[in-house]
Amino acid sequence: MSDNKKKFYITTPIFYASGKPHLGHAYTSIACDVLARWKRKTGHEVFFLTGTDEHGQKVAEKAKENKISEQEYVDSLIPNFKKVLETLNITNDFFIRTTNEQHKAFVQKMLSLCYEKGDIYLGEYEGLYCVGCERYYTQTELLEGNICPDHKKPCVQMKEESYFFKLSKYQDKLLELFEKNPQFLSPNQHANEIINRVKEGLRDISISRNKKTLTWGIEIPFDKNHVTYVWFDALFNYLSALDMNEKMEFWPADVHLVGKEINWFHTVYWPAFLMSAGFEMPKKVFAHGWWTVEGHKMSKSLGNVLDPIQLSEELGKDQLRYYLLSIGTFGDDLNFTKESFAEKINNELNNDFGNLVSRVHTLLTKYFGGSVPSAEKLDKEEVELTMSLNFFPDFDAHMSALRFKEALDLLWEKIRTVNAYINKVEPWKIQDTKRLESVLSVLTFAVQTFARYIECFMPETAQRIRKQYNFEEQDFSSFTAIPAGHKIGEKDNLFSKITLEKKAETKKEDSEKKEEKKTGFASLNLTVGEIIEVSEHPDAEKLFIEKIDLGNGDIRQIVSGLRAYYTKEEMLHKKVIVVANLKPAKLRGVRSEGMILAADDEEHVGLVLADAERGTQISCGKLQANATTRITVDDFFAVEMKSTGKEIHYENTALTANKKALYTDRNIVGNVR
């Protein structure tokens, strides 16, 4: 690559080699890959790093259990990690292993630098240690019974001689870093937690283990009786990988992408180590959320992991890549369900995108024998549509800020605009040949444009579009228009609809029937949701169709009779209360998955609102509205709630969300329905 290209360095954390990779590993790798692909397409020279962290007590224990050496144990796991990368089309430039001899030498060099600076000293450490986390905890950080909050296992009391790093020395410098570089702590919702913890005071940290208790690690160069603690070893991979590839000009890193459980180590330990060793700071550490399964963080120790290879084989690798980055805001905790996966693929990939690519191919074949016509007669509609396809600045801004969902939402807005255009102009009815030529030329251009934008998310799909249209692969630094007479290839249907087995749903319904039926407020599931989309019901002038985000990837479609009382703009982004366990029903042919609470006084209607995050459950004193049993509308109406004008009450007790009272936006005094 040319030396004048702007360099971009992105990393995953190096994944701990103590078992098989799971969906969390795949999620981080896919996100990094999407951004790396985008940066390459926009003219950057990219270095994309991933790899494995292979030292530490947990690895030593696993090797002992398997009656093999530590090196043999980690060697046996590496093919699993590399297979995930290969299966999901991850385009990393290097895969680092911390057992690499060059990495070891680099870490020893860094230890010596920090030691000579006076930032490493010998002392004694005593505390509660979690083997799974490879770290000591304070009493206040643990659950009752000295249980690790992450692994749900008891920590053990340990006391040993150890080398310490003077983390306390860098407290003020870290706070200065956070203040001068606000993007360093990303996304914003994690920043205050880190800043406040640093302000509370930093203690020096143990960075070594005595060989009497652990030998599997990098030997301390100034004391042969100690090996390095895992974080000093692991974090320096981001520099050692550049060093061994002669790519040091890529430092500082543009993005370290990590899971939020290791955010502290990357935003506090890592910059302090770098300051001590004399290196520039990374530009950004972005901590994404967790994927949950049945409300629990995926964890090998809890036994609830999802295998990314199995998922990609079952659901499709491009489909999996798309789903993981489109289901919710990158940075939030999200919940994986096959139901939401099927809905995403069927509605967005199959109905919206796949249908568009197929329709245009069919029209070109039917009317012009598979040749792209010229565009000599562009009407106002075609000009406006072509201009709307120039959305690179907004898309690029979303991608650079790791707003993957927002980038895809923007792309899908354009895809739906083109589909609406086809439905409006009805090319199959156009009698004017010149007009038809222009319409199909513009539509072919739209397909080519969308293939370029979707490629970083769905590389195989983009390749299949290029193949069936005979498009050349192009980046965003240059773009060649489709010449008249260009011949397209053979049609290829991109996606198939997903049909889920109903067995699991039937079991759930059976278990709900067996559950003892609750009554009153306890029979309800009332959840705070944000209205993210409002549209008019196509067949009912008094009904709205709302899309409501309940958090954790739970998007509900609800049909309401609020069209006579609110405009779409008035409803958008309000934090409303949803009856989330109401049995789904069809209202004038459209599926409704719940009900929005509103108060009425027989003349006016006011939405019931909350000042709380999406997904917050509603309380009434000590009662919680978090029932799982589905209820009917009659069951709901049997629970009498009232609005006082300022608060919402059940049996004279105010309803709250996160200890804040619910209210109506129009001070209605009346019944809540």
Residue 292 belongs to what H/E stretch?
Answer: strand 291-293
Token pair belonging to 262 = 């290791």
70 token code pair: 């530590």
Beta bridge partners of 531: 548
With contact defined as beta carbons under 8 Å apart, do 200 and 215 qualify?
no
What span, in angstroms and rounded, lies between the C-alpha atoms of 35 and 227?
Answer: 36
Q: 3-state secondary structure string, 530-592?
A: EEEEEEECCCCCCCEEEEEECCCCCEEEEEECCCCCCCHHHHCCCEEEEECCECCEEECCEEE
Closest alpha carbon to 593 in 583, 601, 602, 603: 583
Closest CA to 182 of 36, 57, 107, 284: 284
Calpha distance 672→606 (Å, rounded): 9
The distance of Cα 364 from the centroid of its chain, to the nearest Å, equals: 38
Of 324, 309, 319, 344, whose CA–CA distance to 461 is shortest? 319
- Residues with a catalytic annotation lie at 22, 25, 130, 133, 148, 151, 297, 300
Distances (CA, A) of 536 to 233, 347, 548, 555: 58, 19, 15, 18
The residue whose two tokens read 């059940």 is 650
Give the CA radius of gyration of the chain: 28
Q: How far apart are CA 226 and CA 219, in angstroms?
A: 6
Please report how many Cα atoms fall inside a 13 Å half-sphere around the Cα of residue 556, on the Cβ side: 29
- If one counts every other C-beta atom within 10 angstroms of the C-beta of residue 231, the result is 22
- Please name the amino acid found at residue 540: A
Taking the C-alpha atoms of residue 458 and residue 463, their distance in angstroms, rounded to an integer, is: 9
Strand order in the sheet with 223-228: 208-210, 223-228, 219-220
438 sits in which H/E element:
helix 433-454
Q: Are 206 and 220 in contact (CB under 8 A)?
A: no
Amino acid identity of residue 649, one-letter, is H
Token pair listed for 112: 């010596």
Q: Tell me how far CA of residue 217 lies from CA of 56, 266, 356, 357, 474, in angstroms.
A: 6, 20, 55, 54, 46
Decide: 440 and 364 in contact? Cβ < 8 Å. Answer: yes
Question: What is the helix (H) or strand (E) element at residue 654, kind and residue range?
Answer: strand 653-657
